[in-house]
């Protein structure tokens, strides 16, 4: 597969390429430190979000679960209704 010429890349592709090259040039220790730092930042951001909205579930989560259950073989209308009721009880608390 031939290389894509830099002149044919758009700005976003150039930025992604530069980031990838800089990551490939890191030593093993630098790469591990970078990944641990990014993981810690994401973990902290998740904690802050969960503290601000402790029991808030995504609005369409119930719809997604029901849609997934409808696609499964062997799951009938009664089971789906029971799951809906259980989800509503959990969300009320």
pLDDT of residue 57: 56
In order along its 93 residues, the chain shows pLDDT tens digits of 567 777 788 899 999 999 999 989 989 898 888 888 888 888 787 777 666 665 555 666 778 888 888 888 888 888 888 888 888 887 776
Interatomic CA distance for residues 54 and 51, integer angstroms? 5
| CA–CA gap between residue 48 and residue 69 (Å, rounded) | 32
Q: Which residue has tokens 């990838």?
A: 20
Does residue 80 contact residue 69 with C-beta atoms inside 8 Å? yes
The reported pLDDT for the residue numbered 25 is 93
Question: Which pLDDT value is given to residue 53?
Answer: 63
How would DSSP label each residue in 35-71? HHHHHHHHHHHHHHHHHHSTTPPPTTHHHHHHHHHHH
DSSP assignment letter at 27? -
């Amino acid at each position: 597969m031939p290389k894509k010429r830099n002149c044919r890349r758009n700005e976003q592709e150039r930025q992604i390429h530069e980031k990838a090259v800089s990551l490939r040039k890191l030593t093993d220790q630098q790469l591990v430190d970078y990944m641990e730092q990014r993981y810690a930042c994401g973990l902290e951001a998740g904690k802050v979000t969960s503290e601000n909205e402790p029991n808030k579930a995504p609005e369409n989560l119930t719809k997604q679960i029901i849609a997934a259950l409808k696609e499964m073989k062997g799951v009938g209308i009664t089971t789906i209704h029971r799951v809906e009721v259980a989800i509503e009880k959990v969300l009320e608390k």
